[in-house]
Structure 1
Amino acid sequence: MSKNLLVELLVEELPPKSLKQLGASFAQLLADSLKAQGLIAHDATITPYAAPRRLAVHIVNVAAQAADQAVTQKLMPVKVGLDAQGQATPPLLKKLASLGADASVVPQLKRALDGKTETLFWDTTVTGIALTDGLQKALEEAIGQLPIPKVMTYQLADGWSSVNFVRPAHALTALHGADVVPVSVLGLQAGRETQGHRFEAKVNPIVLHNADSYAQQLQTEGAVLASFAERRTEITRQLAAAAAHEHLTPVDDDALLDEVTALVEHPNVLVGQFDAEFLQVPQECLILTMKANQKYFPLLDANGKLANKFLLVSNIRPVDPTQVITGNERVVRSRLADAKFFFDQDRKKTLASRLPELDKVVYHNKAYTQGKRIHSVCAIAKMIGAQLGGNELADQAVEASKLAKADLLTDMVGEFPELQGIMGRYYAQHEGLSDDVAFAIEDQYKPRFAGDELPRNPAGICLALADKLETLVIMFIIGEVPTGDKDPFALRRHALGVIRILIEKNLAHFKLNQLIDQTYREILSITAIPNPQGVFLKLPPNLEELLLQLKKFFWERLVGYLREQGYTAQEVDAVLSLNPQHLSDIPKRLAAVRAFAALPEAVSLAAANKRVGNILKKSEGSIADVVNPDWLPEADEQSLYQALQDIEPKTKKAFAAGDYTASLQLLATLKAPVDTFFDHVMVNVDDVQLRNNRLALLKQLHQTMNQIADLSKLAA
């Protein structure tokens, strides 16, 4: 008989940053195991529950016993299982005994080839597993496979045994309908009792009526919203309502919302405030302090400016919340006072005065110090600035680069590393430096994540590119290449940042490989200067290979980036096959390829292009660059030659003007002459002069068609 199933593990407070994943994994792993054992359907409805002190899952229509299954058991080769008289050998009898059978089934055995070997098979029926056994197996598998970042070892009640789990477990509930399923795990026997809220539960313990009453009983009797998703929705609703009452907006932070959802069972949003004098501190500092240390939701006004109010999510609902609010206000006041102290102290020293200390900070023990790294970044930024905007921009980029890492030595960044760059901008503005330089210091780390904004001014672009390129080249030189999912220096993110800046800022001045080579040369010129700290950059013998590896690394990131922009694998392959070095050009090429592919002539032309390419690859010797029209005896090859003479200047003109779409659209007129050429003209004829001239004609056709992309990649 099928009934709904409820399984819950009651534990001590789970890690809040892992709770969402733990809840989803516990439910999915348990369900997957029950599916594999035939106890639930593949489309069974699964409802996960995850609260600070519990992991649970509700599954509909779980069978008390899985259906019997007809199976074919492979036994052993015939020559091993049967003797010369066809009687069962001891090995076969032993195998049958392990399967619960005896010699009486030998006449029922079938012979069939397994590869080249004649083998014995036994058709039998396997009794479906009972829910008790199946759930026991599923529980053990789920607990063993949970993505637990760090397990705890704790003693059981007997004082001798110990088990490993993410947190000590105190109760196990397993209900099939209204019946307890007698399973055990982590030293616990399944029952029907669970615990509600530590302080606000109406009843403790809560005796569950059946599997379907779990969520309702926990909410009404235990003051617990068991569903992570429902609790998150309720917190979001309360945050919006409380903020609207104050005519403010809470800071949008999904990670913080998930973490707070994992910290409370009975959410209650309250409004607190702090002294307005703290608003003199940069709002990024205050916001980070409130979010990171206190898990509060800062409030912003209509202009995005921080207000001196915040929202806290309490786990209790007292009639008078005054004490809860004042207690939190007292704590946040001391936190904000620390931030103000750091800010005031930091401004007593200039950024430039901190630079000598960077000579004592090792950037990497195989490279050099942060102080020397500044010289490398300055040189690279100057080179980029000179190409992008001349000497004035180069000077701005150098000024920003010199001060870019100075805020690493400030108290504020020491307390909150996430503020590096941001605090540098504030301190630079405090010192009266130009906004161009100040914002460049802040923007050096952009883009910091997928979808993040790019540097806002040319100096910031120069510094951001220099910082990322220097990191990538140095890390590849010293062998810190990402492997698998390991990327401790975020080199994938750095490469993607360079790609995004070059493309999205339309920086047509730069070729990617050339930029990498220039970066390496600037680093080499700086590291040649003796280092008083004794940390030197040692160049490996396979340096050229490593730089090629870095360029390939960039290309792999570029492919992924373009696919995320919605381009197909064929479109990306067609454009990148030509190895275009001006990345800013690539979106226009892709748009042109997409427009070309929509033409009715595109399929035929792409196939012809592929055919031409194959013919040229197989040809022996060099092919002439110029076609001799006097050696084109066939009318169809004359037609193709004339069509090329007409269209080639037009495609080149459109290409030179950057109108790639028009350049490719012009190729549509080649369909008819190309088709008739291949229908009536033989290229590889015995006459060497005639053959070579026809190959030259195909070479010209190939070059005309493939200026923007390798159109053969569009062929099916």
Structure 2
Amino acid sequence: MSNTHNLLVELFVEELPPKALKKLGQAFAAGLADSLRAQGLAGADSAVTPFASPRRLAAHVSAVLAQAADKPVQQKLMPVSVGLDASGQPTPALLKKLAALGADASAVPQLKRAMDGKAEALFYDSVLKGATLAEGLQKALEDTLGKLPIPKVMTYQLADGWSSVNFVRPAHGLVALHGDQVVPVGVLGLQAGRHTEGHRFEAAHSPVALRDADSYAAQLETEGAVIASFEARRAEIVRQLQAAAASVGGGVRPIEDEALLDEVTALVERPNVLVGQFEREFLEVPQECLILTMKANQKYFPLLDADGRLTHRFLLVSNIRPEDPSAVVGGNERVVRPRLADAKFFFDQDRKRTLESRVPGLAKVVYHGKLGTQGERVERVRAIARAIGAQLGGEVLAARADQAAMLAKADLLTDMVGEFPELQGVMGGYYARHDGLDAEVATAIEDHYKPRFAGDELPRHQIGVVVALADKLETLVGLFGIGQVPTGDKDPFALRRHALGVIRMLGEKELPLALDALLALAAAPFGDKLSAPLAPLADFIYDRLSSGLREQGYTAQEVEAVLALRPQHLADVPKRLQAVRAFASLPEAESLAAANKRVGNILKKADGLVVPQVDVSLLAEPAEQALHGALQAARPQADAAFERGDYASSLQALAALKVPVDAFFDDVMVNAEDAALRANRLGLLATLHAAMNRVADLSKLAA
């Protein structure tokens, strides 16, 4: 019998938590394979196939050895001075150490001597016997189960009635097959065998007796009516969803939702997609409510028409395949009806009151212990929105943004949002339209939470942008102002997401708003509630901006050069980055960046503040006269380009300074004995530094 076979390990358990199943399956397979590789039982090229169904975690690992190869090991015993006496004979300490390793005095002549630090030590060479698969798999199983990403551990009693174990769900079976041989291992009170259970209701044979490691998936599918692979089951569901939608006709398609697809894959062992329907009258309810209740509560896939509108049909993924599915479909239709009726009831009830009539109720809802109620928060958002609106569009925009900001949180007090918090904003938009409000104000209420996640769209109209900006700034300024700063992975108030939203709106909408002034404007309505300084918030925003720009493909040097100047208008940042990139490709760039760094260091070391002024009469050396002349010629051109936002031309105008700058450093002594000469030369360098660093801090480009 060959020493190498494929290995199959399966743990059969009660229904696993669906939202965790995919991760558990991947972690189980990866953990086993990594441990077997570490012990020399599997090679780097051993292929690993994970399996995960509602009632099993399994892994197939190819080319696993029955026993790992023996390994030569060298062990340090002790210093020579401790192990051998003056005549070179072994001391009792050495003999005791050798005995512990299974050797005796006869091994002494074979001991090696080598320097260990400052002293000579004795080393013992031996061969470590390779682990058998039974030993190695036992260790791999124990290590892997201990490290699984289990959301919540259960403690349950074993069959003996008095010992108990901890695991994600009670485990009832263990399979371990190396080729066609059972590997004698045990965990969670179970001993490995070759039998597993099939589908609860539809298995042709149960238990299924597995012939060998390679027949696992095929036998489970044919005899056990189970598609064991998570990925294969998911692909089968997608295929059936498309086929079922095609059978309905009319160009309908199932809603796309990767998380729902993963969850449903984790709920069924043998998927069977069926078509259900509900009464058309429910379509009067906003489709977001119906879609959410069908997805969240029932795990259905709503069907949308070609225009993305909800239809009165849906797809359900059943775990059984009866010849006549009408009972399954009918049962699901009966279950969904009360859910949709609840949504219709909430919608009808909510529309009996205007959004505006709900605003006073926000004064009774606590927002944060140190920042007051939602009512107080709304007043702050209104004040910030009015100020931003006035800057961007005068009194008209300020008034409309104020109205949208006043009503933006009112839907938090509606029945629908109480039942489905995910619909906040969306329902506010529907209720605002029902109240007869301006369409753009209603859209702003709906959009003011955007962008809700990375890559989400921004608010559609200017009013929505103003209110969304005000809302996010109020959150950031308020929480930073009371010291609630995100640390490590912890960000309970999603401040990173809010900061990215602010960055995206200022940049992508090209808003002419200076960041520091914006933060000061947002802090004003808080009065004396804020105790912490706002400088860390500005740092936090630039830090988020820096990460985002590097993800877009700009180098760390380019980003650092631009952000070192803390540009106030974030819409300018991409243009500055492109200018820096173009400048860096010029032949003069490297030399000028190095010179800029040198100038910066000289100015830092100078005593007192250096004024960027030059007295022409004190320019004694030809090289400093030439630099001053070149600067006088290049600067107006560079400044004019900077003022019109042509940053690339501004930087390129400075390329003419390379030769005079190099000559200046070769020929001129900056720290001259004469104080007036020294001050004038420092003034010339300060003038040069200011001229060169308007677009970016060019010293950051120096190697």
TM over 0.5: yes
The answer on 1:601 being equivalent to 2:604 is no
Partner of 2:299: 295
CA 1:521–1:92: 2 relative to 1, 3 Å: farther
State which drifts further: 95-104 or 348-357.
95-104
Q: Any unmatched runs of 5+ in structure 2? A: none
CA contact (8 A) 1:8 1:174 kept: yes
Match of 1:46 among 36, 45, 48: 48
CA contact (8 A) 1:156 1:163 kept: yes
Encode CA deviations 1:172-191: one digit per residue, 9 max, x unaligned. Answer: 11111111111101111111
CA 1:115–1:687: 2 relative to 1, 3 Å: farther
Match of 1:668 among 648, 655, 660: 655
CA 1:669–1:92: 2 relative to 1, 3 Å: same
The answer on 1:126 being equivalent to 2:128 is yes
Cα distance in 1 between the residues matched to 2:213 and 2:543 = 50
The answer on 1:513 being equivalent to 2:516 is yes
* Counterpart amino acid of residue 420 in structure 2: F
5 Å-filtered alignment, 1:404-483, equals 404-483=408-487
CA 1:274–1:217: 2 relative to 1, 3 Å: same
* Counterpart amino acid of residue 641 in structure 2: A
CA contact (8 A) 1:9 1:55 kept: yes
Give the superposition deviation at 1:117. 4.5
State which drifts further: 152-161 or 77-86.
77-86
* Counterpart amino acid of residue 115 in structure 1: G
Other structure's SS at 2:372 match: coil
Match of 2:204 among 181, 194, 202: 202
* Counterpart amino acid of residue 412 in structure 1: M
Give the superposition deviation at 1:84. 4.2
Give the superposition deviation at 1:128. 1.3
Q: Any unmatched runs of 5+ in structure 1? A: 529-536
Cα distance in 1 between the residues matched to 2:115 and 2:603 = 49
5 Å-filtered alignment, 1:533-682, equals 537=529, 539-540=530-531, 543-544=532-533, 547-682=534-669
CA 1:666–1:128: 2 relative to 1, 3 Å: same
Encode CA deviations 1:91-118: one digit per residue, 9 max, x unaligned. Answer: 4333333333333323333343433454
Cα distance in 2 between the residues matched to 1:17 and 1:374 = 36
Other structure's SS at 1:269 match: strand
Partner of 2:240: 238
Cα distance in 2 between the residues matched to 1:112 and 1:696 = 65
Give the superposition deviation at 1:522. 1.2
Other structure's SS at 1:17 match: helix
The answer on 1:523 being equivalent to 2:535 is no
CA contact (8 A) 2:134 2:184 kept: yes
CA 1:210–1:458: 2 relative to 1, 3 Å: same
Cα distance in 1 between the residues matched to 2:55 and 2:76 = 47
Give the superposition deviation at 1:201. 1.5
Percent identity reads: 68
Partner of 1:329: 333
* Counterpart amino acid of residue 664 in structure 1: L
Partner of 2:274: 270
Partner of 1:211: 213
Other structure's SS at 2:18 match: coil
Cα distance in 1 between the residues matched to 2:613 and 2:272 = 81
Cα distance in 2 between the residues matched to 1:78 and 1:583 = 69
Partner of 2:490: 486
CA contact (8 A) 1:196 1:223 kept: yes
CA contact (8 A) 1:151 1:164 kept: yes
CA contact (8 A) 2:635 2:654 kept: no
Partner of 1:76: 78
CA 1:353–1:623: 2 relative to 1, 3 Å: closer
Cα distance in 1 between the residues matched to 2:519 and 2:101 = 66
* Counterpart amino acid of residue 281 in structure 1: V
The answer on 1:22 being equivalent to 2:24 is yes
Give the superposition deviation at 1:615. 2.6
CA 1:668–1:240: 2 relative to 1, 3 Å: farther
Other structure's SS at 1:483 match: coil
Give the superposition deviation at 1:700. 2.4
Cα distance in 2 between the residues matched to 1:66 and 1:271 = 54
* Counterpart amino acid of residue 709 in structure 1: A
Match of 1:177 among 179, 203, 213: 179
The answer on 1:504 being equivalent to 2:508 is yes
Give the superposition deviation at 1:495. 1.6
* Counterpart amino acid of residue 121 in structure 1: F
- TM-score, normalization by structure 2: 0.96
Aligned residues: 699
* Counterpart amino acid of residue 504 in structure 1: E
* Counterpart amino acid of residue 601 in structure 1: E
The answer on 1:377 being equivalent to 2:364 is no
CA contact (8 A) 2:612 2:685 kept: no
* Counterpart amino acid of residue 129 in structure 2: T
Give the superposition deviation at 1:344. 0.4
Cα distance in 2 between the residues matched to 1:353 and 1:702 = 60
Encode CA deviations 1:615-661: one digit per residue, 9 max, x unaligned. Answer: 32233344342233444444443333322222111110110001111
Cα distance in 2 between the residues matched to 1:620 and 1:566 = 40
Cα distance in 2 between the residues matched to 1:372 and 1:683 = 59
Partner of 1:532: none
Encode CA deviations 1:431-462: one digit per residue, 9 max, x unaligned. Answer: 00111211111112111111111111222122
CA 1:205–1:361: 2 relative to 1, 3 Å: same
Cα distance in 2 between the residues matched to 1:628 and 1:194 = 92
State which drifts further: 70-79 or 394-403.
70-79
Give the superposition deviation at 1:210. 1.1
Cα distance in 2 between the residues matched to 1:108 and 1:389 = 90
Other structure's SS at 2:221 match: helix
CA 1:687–1:119: 2 relative to 1, 3 Å: farther
* Counterpart amino acid of residue 403 in structure 2: E
State which drifts further: 581-590 or 697-706.
697-706
State which drifts further: 78-87 or 462-471.
78-87
Other structure's SS at 2:367 match: coil
State which drifts further: 241-250 or 104-113.
104-113
Cα distance in 2 between the residues matched to 1:625 and 1:597 = 26
Partner of 2:61: 59
State which drifts further: 208-217 or 664-673.
664-673
Other structure's SS at 2:468 match: helix
* Counterpart amino acid of residue 419 in structure 2: E
Other structure's SS at 1:432 match: coil
State which drifts further: 550-559 or 167-176.
550-559
Other structure's SS at 1:191 match: coil
CA contact (8 A) 2:71 2:130 kept: yes
Cα distance in 1 between the residues matched to 2:83 and 2:481 = 62
Partner of 2:35: 33
Encode CA deviations 1:662-697: one digit per residue, 9 max, x unaligned. Answer: 212223333333334334444344444444433333
The answer on 1:156 being equivalent to 2:143 is no
Match of 1:354 among 346, 353, 358: 358
Partner of 1:110: 112
| Divergent runs of 4+, >6 A | none
CA 1:118–1:555: 2 relative to 1, 3 Å: farther
Other structure's SS at 1:19 match: helix
Match of 1:683 among 655, 667, 670: 670
Cα distance in 2 between the residues matched to 1:460 and 1:187 = 60
Give the superposition deviation at 1:83. 4.1
CA contact (8 A) 1:624 1:693 kept: no
CA contact (8 A) 2:283 2:310 kept: yes
Cα distance in 1 between the residues matched to 2:297 and 2:582 = 53
Encode CA deviations 1:342-373: one digit per residue, 9 max, x unaligned. Answer: 10011111112222322221112233111222
Cα distance in 1 between the residues matched to 2:93 and 2:469 = 71
